[in-house]
Structure 1
Amino acid sequence: MERKVKYNYDFKLRCVNEVLKKHKTVDAVSKLNGCHHTTLHDWIRFYEKYGKKGLLPRKNKVYSLPFKLKVIEAIDKDLLSFSQACLMFNISTKSVVMNWHRNYKKDGIRGLNHKTRGKPKSMQFKRAKKKSNKLLTREEELLLENESLRAELDLLKKLQALIQQEQNEKQ
């Protein structure tokens, strides 16, 4: 499943061209088009470095551990800002790099490992045993019948308790 793109390619290109070719201010163009001025600044930087390809929407990319380390080391060694690191390494948003940096400072290399996304499974269901083709012994048949009768009895007891509870509430 791809992520939803907030601004399409044509919109980004039009905004960038208004700033670069029509010589309008970033603030004026961002207010006119309803996008944040820092977002527009990022688009302009990517357009200047990568051309029209820099404005294309990107799919969610999974970055390797060595790549993440390389980005963090460049930030620390060269004193790059997160925006500069995104531009240098062609990463779509600075929030990605900010998360890497925070996790690295907190947990070291373990913090950079890819984490599974989404809601974790809360319940583990036991799979039903597959029925085999071999015949059951008389004892196994009786045990299965006994188990099903116990389940039926428990169900009937619960039903009786509910009926009795309703009658008590009516009285």
Structure 2
Amino acid sequence: MSRKHKYSKVFKLEAVQKVLQDYQSITIVSDTIGIHKSDLKKWIKYYQEYGESGLEPKSVNASYSGAFKLKVIRSIEQSGLSFRAASLKYNIPSHSTVQGWYQTYISKGALELYKDGRGCPISMNNRKSRKILKKPQTREEELLLENESLKAELALLKKLKALAQAKKKKQ
């Protein structure tokens, strides 16, 4: 069973063309057709990046590999991409998905990106089964997680220092 999409490809294309070809403002077009202007801006960016295929409905339940998630995070850190820019570059439907990966990477490390977090969560009422499912980590796993966390922290500090130096140089 497929997911019902709110807006068709034809509808999105007409809205985008009103802005790009008819030179109407984003605000006027969004108010006229009854959508939020952030949605229209997103459609325009995807159209400019991928053409008409960028306006096709995307699978919300897509599954991404840990290596792909890490690649996206690394490009954010190295290129200074925003979450929206990274989702556009890698054709991910929602920037909040990328933001969630980044938060996981920062708080829990790169190894956590390789885990599949989908499925039924363990209920809070069943604490005994939750304790059984949680495996104790070996010392090596703990050290790997700590190492990843420290690397992420160091990269963040380097980025902060570079931004401070750039601001100081600009002044």
Shift, 1:3, TM fit: 3.2
- Is it true that 1:13 corresponds to 2:13 in the alignment? yes
Shift, 1:120, TM fit: 4.9
Q: Tell me which amino acid in the other structure corresponds to 2:118.
A: T
What residue in structure 2 maps to residue 109 of structure 1? 110
Q: Which has the higher contact order (CA 8 A, sep 6+)?
A: 2
Structure 1 residues without counterparts, runs of 5 or longer:
124-171
Shift, 1:77, TM fit: 1.0
Correspondence 1:117-136 to 2 at 5 A: 117-118=119-120, 120=122
What residue in structure 1 maps to residue 38 of structure 2? 38
Correspondence 1:41-52 to 2 at 5 A: 41-52=41-52
What residue in structure 1 maps to residue 89 of structure 2? 88
Say how many residue pairs are matched.
Answer: 123
TM-score (norm 1): 0.66
- Is it true that 1:62 corresponds to 2:40 in the alignment? no
CA RMSD in angstroms, aligned pairs only: 1.8
What residue in structure 1 maps to residue 78 of structure 2? 77
Structure 2 residues without counterparts, runs of 5 or longer:
127-171
What residue in structure 1 maps to residue 143 of structure 2? none
**Cα distance in 2 between the residues matched to 1:35 and 1:106:** 35
Q: Tell me which amino acid in the other structure corresponds to 1:13.
A: L
Q: Tell me which amino acid in the other structure corresponds to 2:58.
A: R
After the TM superposition, list the runs of 4 or more consecutive aligned residues in structure 1 that deviate by more than 2 angstroms. Answer: 1-4, 116-123
Percent of matched pairs sharing the same residue? 38
Structure with the greater alpha carbon radius of gyration: 1
TM-score (norm 2): 0.66
